[in-house]
Amino acid sequence: MSYTIYDASVPVMIRALTNLSKIVDKAVAQAAKDGVQLSTLLDARLAPDMHPFTRQIQMASDAAKGAAARLANIDAPSMPDTETTFPELKARLEKTIAFLNSVGADKIAGAEDRTIVLKFPQGEMKFTGRDFLASFALPNFFFHVTTAYALLRHKGITLGKMDFLGGV
């Protein structure tokens, strides 16, 4: 059996979100042990013009569910960006992972050649499914996952590369 666009997308995003959920657990545990206010972590930014940690989690979720839905040519579940606590962010990650698990390989089969159009106020971008995944969806997804990880590291949470990668 050959490597498919499904193999390159849904399982990859599930793994990264699962690892991110474990990173959130580590952050909460260390903050409690060290007496760090959780709001310090939730509001953390790398630069004034960047979104805070909370929004990075929401955007990683949106990127994952949007990518899978577009590749499967289905609607992504709506998740209003109302999370303000770590338990709410964990629940969002769990809901996103559950959605990704519902998108089977059969739903994405043939997506590599499907046209995907992203519409923005300033115009639109057209891709084949393979180009959408490789040049837009995965880089965007990992930008937000990496930024969330970096924000926690920046705030003193003890994390390493294996936390990001998960069990290999």
- DSSP track, 54-73: HHHHHHHHHHHHHHHHHHHT
Cα separation, 48 vs 88, in Å, equals 24
pLDDT score for 124? 95
Question: Count of alpha carbons within 13 Å of 118, Cβ hemisphere only?
Answer: 18
- 20 neighbors 57 (Cβ within 8 angstroms): yes
Strand ranges for 52-152 from DSSP E? 115-120, 123-128
Per-block mean pLDDT, blocks of 10 residues, the chain (168 long): 93 98 97 96 96 98 98 97 97 98 97 94 96 98 98 96 86
* Burial of 120 (C-beta count, 10 Å sphere; 0-12/13-18/19+): exposed
Tokens (6 digits) for 117: 């159009």
Inter-CA distances, 61 with 106, 131, 159, Å: 22, 20, 21
Q: Which residues of 20-47 are buried (b: 16+ CB within 10 A; e: fewer)?
A: bbbbbeebbebbeeeebeeeebbebeee
Q: What backbone phi and psi angles, to 5 degrees, belong to 128?
A: -80, 160
pLDDT at 168: 57
Structural domains of the chain in order of their starting residue, each with its CATH number: 10-160 (1.20.120.450)
Rounded-to-integer distance, Cα 128 and Cα 135, Å: 10
